[in-house]
């Protein structure tokens, strides 16, 4: 094997994606000073399903829900990707066995993790060679069409994890409240928000504009490149770039929300996958989730600034970008 | 001579009444009966005349409505969205210079074409932020071009009339082209318009200046809007015109 390969343990080791750094977050892996974006390059991406069920969900029901979740992402018209169910397997979701497996796994040591995705990648070009997803049997699961009270909807959680499977990281389009023992999500507008809706909620079976923009940014069709645009600029505080600021773009004509982050030391951000038209921009600190859910702990995220609207309307052209947007925030 | 002045005075008075009350045709006929045929010397342009003009127009603004940035609530029972913030959008009125050229097919009927350029401001009021971001009015300036053509019907005076006021009605259609700030996004549409006005001529010479004032409604299909339907804005303009 001439190319170096390494395991990237999914969510816990997310680092920044390569240029262009866009809406939501794309998974990436840092190789020396270089960052490569994680993405599948060979389609269909084949996956196996562990031939084992849990209380309330048989292996067949599990596979059916997983297939629906994959179909949800594959149905995005502005992205080119496909998957193939390769069959049931006795293997468990374990990275490094050269097959992508989705299945249940008992992880009582991960008492706050519903599910997780891991990768085996080519670190030269970020090509995903294998991706495995486990669903933690510590929790109760359901595949009921309308959801089951007290049990997490497997399809909803699968849609989120499959977003990781395709190379997306977390979105910050959500609001949370602190409770004893952790955070509770009040509302979110992205399947890729890191904190799941409550047990019984099936809302995350449906992708939101932020998710679609993210997927299309990685696997976009030629039509996507022609028909959608981007906004880029800088967020600064006292003349210095703000790192890790969450920038939201809202189109009052379509009411679509897409979020992005400042990812460079000068406070640079890019939000791609936007419908042409006018947008308002809102900047907020990343305070609705554990920062480690989004960035490596060494990233130096700045949360010491006030929420702010940009004073100018920003217009996104078709197939192009609006750049040099300057947003100045003030310390708290 | 004094009779002639008297007739002219009568007709001028009648014209004013006619413009307002619709009796012009009757009074004009009366004047023709009492006046001998003569060379047209009134304010009515001859067929084949041209008219050019230009001036400012006031183009009304329009409301684009409210929209909220909503998040899906984490609840299986409360389906109301969580509103992150609210927007209220509008396009302001604007003074828009225009130029126009008309050709008189007949003394009463003219066809004209023109171009108008305006710079209305698109405003979005941002308020009600869930995390207390200060309210802001975000803005951008639109470049708005209208290329239009109209048919103009003049309620022309009898040839002997010395009235300098000519009422008219007009209607037509145009091509609307609106560019957002930085001119990176163009929105186009069709415009239909109709209205009425008056022309006041300075003298009766074949070549003369005049003043035109008109007002009406502009109906837009397309261009910058949030809805697919038609929108109507009032338009009023004044211009200096030259007949030749």
B49 lies in some domain: yes
B29 lies in some domain: no
pLDDT band at B15 (very low <50, low <70, confident <90, very high): very low
Residues A209, A242, single domain; the answer is no
Which CATH number covers residue A247?
A: 2.60.40.10
Contact B185/A277, CB-based, under 8 Å?
yes
A111 lies in some domain: yes
Contact A276/B81, CB-based, under 8 Å?
no
B82 lies in some domain: yes
Q: What is the pairing mode between strands B94-104 and B50-59?
A: antiparallel
Q: What is the pairing mode between strands B62-73 and B82-91?
A: antiparallel
Q: Domain ends where: A213, A241, A259?
A: A213
Q: What is the per-residue pLDDT for A284?
A: 95
Contact B184/A174, CB-based, under 8 Å?
no
B180 lies in some domain: yes
A51 lies in some domain: yes
Please identify among residues 138-177 of chain B the ones whose CB lies closer than 8 Å to any CB of chain A.
138-140
Residue A264 C-alpha, separation from nearest chain B C-alpha, in angstroms: 24
Contact A312/B138, CB-based, under 8 Å?
yes
**Which chain A residue's Cα is nearest to B180?**
A315
- Which candidate from A187, A280, A320 shows the least CB-CB separation from B184? A320
- Which candidate from A185, A313, A320 shows the least CB-CB separation from B139? A313
Query: B124 pLDDT exceeds 90?
Result: yes
A193 lies in some domain: yes
**Which chain A residue's Cα is nearest to B77?**
A201
pLDDT band at B157 (very low <50, low <70, confident <90, very high): low
- Which candidate from A173, A184, A315 shows the least CB-CB separation from B184? A315
**Which chain A residue's Cα is nearest to B181?**
A315
> Number of structural domains, chain A?
2
A222 lies in some domain: no
Arithmetic mean of pLDDT over chain A: 88
- Which candidate from B67, B73, B133 shows the least CB-CB separation from A252? B67
Residues A172, A255, single domain; the answer is no
For residue A214, report the phi and psi dihedrals to the nearest 5 degrees: -65, -50
Q: Print the domain residue range for B201.
A: 38-243
Mean pLDDT along residues B200-215: 90
pLDDT band at A31 (very low <50, low <70, confident <90, very high): low
- Which candidate from A284, A311, A322 shows the least CB-CB separation from B184? A322
Q: pLDDT digits over A159-200, tens only?
A: 999 999 999 988 999 998 888 777 888 999 999 998 899 999
d(C-alpha B244, C-alpha B241), whole Å: 10
Please tell me whether the interface predicted TM-score (ipTM) of this complex is above 0.90: no
Residues A206, A61, single domain; the answer is yes
Residues A38, A185, single domain; the answer is yes
pLDDT band at B158 (very low <50, low <70, confident <90, very high): low
Q: What is the per-residue pLDDT for A28?
A: 65
Q: What is the per-residue pLDDT for B94?
A: 96
| Chain A residues closer than 8 Å to B122 by CB | 278, 313
Contact B131/A311, CB-based, under 8 Å?
no
- Which candidate from B130, B139, B180 shows the least CB-CB separation from A175? B130
Which CATH number covers residue B169?
A: 2.40.160.20
Q: What is the per-residue pLDDT for A25?
A: 62
Q: What is the per-residue pLDDT for A36?
A: 77
A309 lies in some domain: yes
Question: In this structure, are residues A99 and A87 in contact, taking their beta carbons and an 8 Å threshold?
Answer: no
Residues A65, A157, single domain; the answer is yes
Strand partners, B56: B97
Which CATH number covers residue A99?
A: 3.40.390.10
| Chain A residues closer than 8 Å to B133 by CB | 282, 284, 306-309
Q: For the ranges A56-60, B20-24, B147-151, which has the lowest average pLDDT?
A: B20-24
Q: Which residues of A touch B (CB under 8 A)?
A: 147, 149, 173-175, 184-189, 197-198, 200-201, 203, 208, 248, 250, 252-253, 255, 257, 276-278, 280, 282, 284, 306-313, 315-318, 320, 322
Residue A148 C-alpha, separation from nearest chain B C-alpha, in angstroms: 10
Contact B136/A203, CB-based, under 8 Å?
no
Residue B178 C-alpha, separation from nearest chain A C-alpha, in angstroms: 12
Residues A139, A203, single domain; the answer is yes
- Which candidate from A250, A284, A315 shows the least CB-CB separation from B180? A315
B44 lies in some domain: yes
DSSP per residue over chain B, as a string? Answer: -HHHHHHHHHHHHHHHHHHHHS-HHHHHHHHHHHS------SSPPPTT-EEEEEEEEEE--EEEEEEEEEEEES-SS--SPEEEEEEEEEE--EEEEEEEEEEESSSSEEEEEEEEEE--EEEEEEE--TT-PPPEEEEEEPEEEEEEEEEEEE-PPPTT----EEEEEEEEEEEEEEE-GGG--EEEEEEEEEEEEEEEESSSSSSEEEEEEEEEEEEEEESS-SSSS-EEEEEEEEEEEEE-
Q: Does B134 touch chain A (CB under 8 A)?
A: yes
Residues A189, A109, single domain; the answer is yes
A221 lies in some domain: no
Q: Domain ends where: A213, A237, A255?
A: A213
Q: What Cα–Cα distance (Å) separates residue B87 from each residue in A148, A186, A187, B175, B216? A: 36, 21, 19, 29, 31
> Number of structural domains, chain B?
1
Q: Print the domain residue range for A195.
A: 5-213
| Chain B residues closer than 8 Å to A226 by CB | none
Higher pLDDT, B228 or A143: A143
Contact A147/B185, CB-based, under 8 Å?
no
| Chain B residues closer than 8 Å to A255 by CB | 67-70
B93 lies in some domain: yes
Q: Does B63 touch chain A (CB under 8 A)?
A: no
Strand partners, B121: B141
Residues A177, A318, single domain; the answer is no
């Amino acid at each position: 094997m001439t190319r170096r390969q390494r395991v990237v343990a999914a969510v816990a080791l997310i680092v920044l994606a390569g240029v262009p750094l866009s809406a939501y977050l794309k998974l990436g892996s840092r190789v020396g000073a270089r960052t490569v974006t994680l993405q599948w390059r060979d389609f269909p991406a084949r996956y196996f399903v562990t031939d084992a069920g849990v209380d309330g969900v048989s292996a067949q029901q599990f596979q059916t829900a997983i297939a629906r979740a994959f179909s949800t992402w594959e149905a995005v018209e502005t992205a080119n990707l496909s998957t193939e169910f390769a069959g049931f397997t006795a293997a468990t979701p374990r990275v490094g066995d050269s097959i992508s497996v989705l299945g249940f796994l008992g992880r009582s040591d991960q008492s706050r993790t519903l599910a997780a995705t891991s990768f085996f990648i080519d670190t030269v070009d970020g090509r995903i060679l294998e991706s495995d997803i486990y669903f933690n049997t510590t929790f109760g699961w359901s595949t009921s069409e309308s959801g089951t009270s007290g049990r997490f909807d497997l399809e909803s959680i699968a849609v989120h994890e499959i977003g990781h499977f395709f190379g997306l990281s977390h979105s910050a389009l959500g609001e949370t409240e602190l409770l004893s023992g952790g955070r509770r999500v009040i509302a979110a507008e992205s399947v890729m928000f890191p904190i799941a809706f409550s047990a019984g909620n099936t809302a995350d079976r449906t992708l939101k504009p932020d998710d679609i923009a993210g997927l299309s940014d990685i696997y976009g069709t030629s039509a996507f490149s022609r028909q959608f645009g981007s906004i880029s600029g800088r967020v600064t505080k006292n003349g210095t770039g703000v790192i890790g600021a969450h920038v939201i773009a809202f189109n009052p004509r379509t009411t679509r929300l897409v979020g992005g982050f400042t990812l460079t030391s000068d406070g640079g951000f890019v939000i791609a996958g936007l419908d042409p038209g006018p947008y308002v921009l809102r900047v907020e600190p990343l305070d609705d989730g554990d920062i480690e859910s989004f960035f490596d702990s060494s990233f130096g995220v700045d949360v010491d600034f006030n929420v702010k609207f940009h004073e100018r309307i920003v217009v996104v052209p078709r197939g192009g970008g609006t750049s040099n947007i300057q947003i100045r925030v003030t310390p708290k | 001579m004094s009779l002639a002045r008297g007739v002219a005075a009568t007709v001028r008075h009648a014209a004013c009444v006619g413009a307002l009350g619709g009796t012009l045709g009757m009074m004009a006929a009366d004047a023709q009966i009492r006046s001998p045929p003569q060379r047209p010397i009134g304010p009515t342009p001859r067929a084949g005349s041209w008219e050019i003009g230009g001036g400012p127009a006031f183009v009304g603004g329009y409301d684009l409505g409210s929209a909220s940035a909503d998040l899906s609530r984490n609840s299986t029972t409360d389906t109301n969205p969580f509103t992150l913030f609210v927007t209220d959008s509008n396009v302001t009125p604007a003074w828009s210079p225009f130029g126009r050229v008309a050709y008189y097919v007949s003394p009463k009927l003219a066809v004209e074409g023109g171009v108008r350029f305006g710079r209305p401001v698109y405003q979005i009021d941002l308020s009600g932020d869930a995390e207390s971001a200060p309210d802001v009015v975000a803005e951008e300036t639109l470049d708005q071009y209208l290329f239009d053509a109209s048919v103009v019907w003049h309620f022309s005076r009898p040839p002997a009339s010395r009235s300098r006021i000519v009422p008219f009605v007009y209607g037509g259609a145009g091509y609307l082209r609106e560019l957002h700030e930085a001119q990176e996004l163009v929105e186009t549409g069709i415009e239909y318009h109709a209205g009425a006005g008056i022309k006041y001529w300075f003298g009766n010479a074949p070549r003369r200046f005049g003043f035109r004032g008109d007002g009406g409604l502009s109906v837009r299909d397309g261009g910058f809007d949030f809805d697919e339907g038609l929108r109507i804005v009032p338009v009023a303009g004044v211009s200096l015109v030259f007949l030749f």
